[in-house]
Structure formats: structure tokens, C-alpha cells
Structure 1
Amino acid sequence: MIRHQVLAIAWRWIGRAAALLALLAGGYAAAGLVGGAIPAHAGWRPPARGIRVYIESNGIHVGLVVPKVAAGVDWRDWAPGADLADPRYGGYDHLAIGWGDKAFYLETATWADVRPRTLLAAARGSDATLMHVEHVPAPRGGDVRSLLLRPEEYRRLASYIRASIAPRRTRYRGYDANDVFYAARGHYSAVQTCNAWAGDALRQAGIRVGRWTPFPVTVMAWF
């Protein structure tokens, strides 16, 4: 009898815990969607001519794709082709750049690699962050948005990206022959996600985007 009572109490607490977790997850999702729908720089409009950059998503991470040389910004020394597994890819004329949690980046190249422990660890937060840099041609397919920036907007975007890398250039092998990871600055958490970083970069440049963009859709929907 006592054993049945203990089991009943245990299941009751498990049910309450599950309900609380579902409530927290639902609240987080709702807050993220609301934050992503409230615009910063609501009056911003793209110029008729300017620097073309791209915003791309793989369904987990949002990245910014920039030309290697434009508006007085030269990325070639910042991310040299010599850092790649195959330096020949350094001949491409664009960089795809993202920021995020070190463990999440290294362990979740695709959705199939996502594990609950990785999600929980990232949500708790970490000071171990990375910049993911790919040497690529201008994107022509996939989940990609294109936009034009004024030279001064592009320079502000570049300044934000550059400020996110760690002063000490620690390098990690990438997923493939054309990409590499670098140690980064910043604290990753459920609030400051890789996608929130991309939204922050665009917002710092003065571009219309959501005020808080924790999910890919909260960035991509603006473009």
C-alpha cells in the first residue's frame, strides 16, 4: 500500500514538473516570437544601390554572408584562406559568418545531430563561444535572403562582427574543407543565441529587424 502511495506521489510530481517545463518552453517561444515581431529601426529602407550582403539559415543557425572586400572593409587578413583544411577555398569572394555556443556548434552540424543534453547545456549558458567562418561564393540557393546596405551601414555591421572574435586567435577545425571556427567573445544563453547575435549585428548596423531574435524565423522573416 505504501509503495503504491509513493509511486502515486512520484508520478504526480513528475506530471507537475512536465507541465512546468511545457509552460516555460511555451512562454519562451511566445516571448521570442513577440520580440522578433517588434521592429528596431522601423523606418529603415534598403538603398537603391549599395553593398550586397546575404542572410542564410540552415534551420538552426542564422549566418551573415559578406563580400571579402567592399566599402573599405577587407576580411582577407581577418580570416585567411591559409586557416582552412584546403586553402584553395580561400579564393572564394565571400565569407559566411556566424556566432554561437562552442559545444552546440561542434556537436550540431545538422538537425540530426541535435541532442537534448546539448540543448540543455546551451540554454544554461556558456562563456565558451565560437565564430564559424566559411569561405564561399555568393549564395545562389537554399534559405537565403539578399539585401543592400549603404557603405556606412556595412562598415558598422563589419565592426560588430569583428568585435565578436576573441583577441587571441584560437582556431578549430571546421565541418568541411572550406570552413573554420575561431574562439569568440560573449556569453551564449537561451537569451543570447546564435540567431540573437545575428539580429544584434543587423540592428547595430541600423537595419530594420526584430528587437530580440532568438530563433531563425525571427531574423529571416524580416527580409
Structure 2
Amino acid sequence: MRTLRRTAPLVLVLAAGLALAAWLTAKAGDPALYPPPPGDDAVTVRLVANAWHSGLLLPREALARAAAQAGSGALVGVTERFGAYPALEIGWGDAGFYRAVPTLGALDWRLALRALFTPGGRPAVLHVVGIADASTFRGAGIVTLHLSRAGFGRLAAALAAAFTLRDGRPVEAGPGLYGPSLFYEAQGRFGLFHVCNHWSAGLLHAAGLPVTPLLDTLPRGLALDLAWRAGAQAP
């Protein structure tokens, strides 16, 4: 009981500190982009949240149109590469860890710690999967979001900027983890303060949604953040 009484104030101080840090780092949404106005032809996107990783499930045709309007030939090329599929699942992560750990059972803590704590961060890749049926994600947490056309266009522009280009074309980096998929070289550095879930949140923030980076570090936190601040239905 004495130990409990001694540690309780410390726990409360830590909790208050985390809550304050989350509040101070929270990013407001853009009401001109989200939510879409009544009657607007909204675009439905989904956050796919697994144990430690999240990605975005995007309608391919809408993405191709937005990329063409933004003048992103590289992203148009990616949508054409997966032209047989109605949707694309796209995620971002550490180039080494992402490829080596396809499932929770394959988790290697040495790789995970190296990915998180390498000074200056580590190279990143994008993972693109052609999706024919949403049942592919059975067992994953799915958060459905309805974006305005303008917001989706901003998301597409942010996504296009994430691809590393060579001679104006995205750089393929080998076969993906499951289904019809490919890795691509990506912009940005992976580290403790910029993990895959921050990347997913960043694209949604570009679309006008409010986000809280500290809470968004974990997939479940990101899902809850979208429920609390953007009105989404958490899994």
C-alpha cells in the first residue's frame, strides 16, 4: 500500500504530462476540406489498422483522376500498374523492417529497435497492393472516412510526393508481402517520431482531418483519434 501511495502521484503526473503533450502537438483540421458539405460527391477511404502498422485503402479510379488533375504522372503510372483492381492499399515504413516482418509472428525485436532508434532515421519504402475484395483484411481494424473531393485531391498530392522518382518514374523496390503487390522507394526517414501510423495520419491531415501525432503513434491510437476528433467509427 505504501508503494502504491508513493507511485500514484508519479503516475498521475506522467499521465497529465502525456495529455498536455498530446494537446500541444495536436493539429487542427481544415473545415474547408473536411467534413464534406451535405450533398457533396464524397470519396470513401479506409484506414486499415493491424497490430503495429496502418495503411490506407483508396479507390483506384478516384486516385487516378486526382493524380491526373494534380499533374502527377508518376502516381497515374502506379494506378495503371494496378489497373485490374478497384482499390489500392498503400502503406509506408522502414525499408528493412517492413520487408522482413510480414506478420506479427515474424516480429524481430532487434530489427524493430534498430528501425526506431537509428540516429537520423532509416530509409523508407511504400507498399502498394491491388485489392479486389475487402475481405482481404478480415481481422484488421477498419476505419471508414468520407472525404471531400478537394480533400481527396490534397491526399493524392501528398501521396504522390511520397514516391522517390527516377527519370520522372517511381522506383520499384521488389515484390510486396501479399497478393498483387510491390514495394517502391519512398521519401522520408523512418524513426521513433515518424512511424508508419504518423505517415497515414499525415495523409489524412492533408485531406483536412484533425490529427494528434502523439496519440497516432500506434494504430489503435490513430483509430481512436479519428473517432474522437474526426467523427469516424473506430473498429
| Count of equivalent residues | 190
| Residues 164 and 104 of structure 1: CA distance in aligned 2, closer, same or farther (over 3 Å) | same
Q: Is the 8 A contact 1:170 1:182 kept in 2?
A: yes
Amino acid paired to 1:53? V
Aligned residue among 115, 122, 128 for 1:127: 122
| Residues 39 and 111 of structure 1: CA distance in aligned 2, closer, same or farther (over 3 Å) | same
Q: Is the 8 A contact 2:91 2:127 kept in 1?
A: yes
Q: Is the 8 A contact 1:40 1:211 kept in 2?
A: no
Q: Which whole-Å CA distance do the structure 1 matches of 2:221 and 2:45 have between them?
A: 18
Aligned to 1:159: 157
Aligned to 2:177: 175
Q: Is the 8 A contact 1:65 1:94 kept in 2?
A: yes
- What secondary structure does 1:55 align onto? strand
Aligned to 2:106: 113
1:62 is the counterpart of 2:57: no
Q: Is the 8 A contact 1:54 1:144 kept in 2?
A: yes
- Unmatched tracts of structure 2, length 5 or more: 1-13, 68-74, 227-231
Q: Which whole-Å CA distance do the structure 1 matches of 2:183 and 2:61 have between them?
A: 21
Per-residue displacement from partner, 1:13-34 (whole Å, max 9, x unpaired)?
A: xxxxxxxxxxxxxx7xx85996
User: If the length of structure 1 is used for normalisation, what is the TM-score?
Assistant: 0.74
Question: By how many angstroms is 1:55 displaced?
Answer: 0.8
- Identity of aligned pairs, percent? 25
Q: Which whole-Å CA distance do the structure 2 matches of 1:47 and 1:33 have between them?
A: 32
Aligned residue among 175, 197, 200 for 1:198: 200
Per-residue displacement from partner, 1:41-87 (whole Å, max 9, x unpaired)?
A: 28643444401111111222110111111273255522444xxxxxx
| Residues 32 and 64 of structure 1: CA distance in aligned 2, closer, same or farther (over 3 Å) | farther
Aligned to 2:10: none
Deviates more, 1:116-125 or 1:169-178: 169-178
Q: Is the 8 A contact 1:101 1:128 kept in 2?
A: yes
User: If the length of structure 2 is used for normalisation, what is the TM-score?
Assistant: 0.70
Max radius of gyration: which structure?
A: 1
Question: By how many angstroms is 1:209 displaced?
Answer: 2.5
The alignment's C-alpha RMSD in Å is 2.9
Q: Which whole-Å CA distance do the structure 2 matches of 1:171 and 1:52 have between them?
A: 29
